[in-house]
Amino acid sequence: MAVARLVALLRGINVGGKHKLPMADLRRIAGELGHRDPVTVIQSGNLLFTADGDELTAAKTLERALAEEFGFAVPVVVRRLDALRRDLAGCPFPDAQAERANLLHAGWSRAKWPKSLAADLAPYATAGERIAVAGSCLWIDFVGGVARSKVTSAVLDRLVGGTVTLRNSKTFAAILAADSA
């Protein structure tokens, strides 16, 4: 497999308290796994790195290393940076991207999206929330705020049949900017 720039999106970690995972340790572990040029973005588990191999292998290897190091499971979704850029360019809600980037979320999973996912999530959408699947990306416009939404991680994981990790548009802008730096 060719060398690629990858993005690892970790779910459920914190920089303090329960499930503490310092970003310096994440970069160190990535380096120990042979990943090159590891860069963390924001303090919420976003890692850019260069590696040989495929996304699934990179995700599973990183998950094992983190569990061994910290003693708790950390779900990881890895995407090729070029694929992530394409996904983000295909945002179906450009108005939300411009007006409320902190409430517009994109998400990925290692599980394949069910064809009916957007329809399955519709009953959970409240207060004008919009949901769309565009290729390998799930988009949710949390118009009324994430905290009040009924589209929770538990609902997403159950309907998808695997871990879903979401990030808001501001975070993705920071990830893309960090790769350009």
Exposed, middle or buried by CB within 10 Å (0-12, 13-18, 19+), for 134?
A: middle
pLDDT of residue 167: 95
pLDDT, one tens digit per residue, over 101-142 is 999 999 999 999 999 999 999 999 988 999 999 989 999 999
Q: Are 167 and 106 in contact (CB under 8 A)?
A: yes
Check if the beta carbon of residue 103 is closer than 8 Å to that of residue 168: yes
pLDDT tens per residue across span 43-101: 889 999 999 989 999 999 999 999 999 999 999 999 999 999 999 999 999 999 889 99
Instruction: List, in order of start, the domains of the chain with CATH numbers.
Output: 4-82 (3.30.70.1280), 89-180 (3.30.70)
